[in-house]
Amino acid sequence: MNLRTFAIALALFCSCAAARSVFPPPTLATLQGSWLGGSGASEKYFRLEIDTSGRGILIAQFDSGERPAVYEVLSTQLTECAIQFELRPEPGAEPIYFRGSACGGVSMKLEVGDAERRWHSKVLLRREGDVLSRIEAVTRRARGHGFGPIAAVHR
């Protein structure tokens, strides 16, 4: 095989490999359910519940001690792995956008921000069951070493 044929074969192989995703694109059916997460250092927490039609509810607590805001999820748009939620805020809640990536089915990497784009934060959501099972596992482990809410009462 000469160098030119090798280069063409390599280019074709790379373009085919790049076109194939490791994960199939998500669907509303695979994303339905409850998701929990936050934005790391900025202390924003979220709970997203969506059904197979892409409708649901988003609960957002932007600051510790602040009453969580409620947003109705009117629709969910998916294009390959890109996801965007159309939200309607409850009366008194700040209008926001919520969009990002949902590849793989185990997490959503999103961005939240105000409608005027004065602020924004990165958000990582994971399936509720996964988050709660990990919290339970580390709590059991702490209690096994004499720490945790039950142990603190007995000290």
- Residue 28: per-residue pLDDT: 93
Q: Which two tokens stand for residue 12?
A: 């074709």
The CA distance from 57 to 67, in Å, is 16
The confidence score (pLDDT) of residue 2 equals 57
pLDDT along the chain (155 residues), means of 10: 52 45 81 93 90 97 90 96 97 95 90 90 94 90 75 49
CA distance 20 to 5: 23
Can you say whether the dihedral through the CA atoms of 90, 91, 96, 97 is positive or negative?
positive
Work out the end-to-end distance of the chain between its first and last CA atoms, rounded to an integer number of angstroms: 76
Q: What is the pLDDT of residue 90?
A: 97
Q: What per-residue confidence (pLDDT) applies to 1?
A: 54
- For the chain, domains (ranges, CATH) are 21-127 (2.40.128.20)
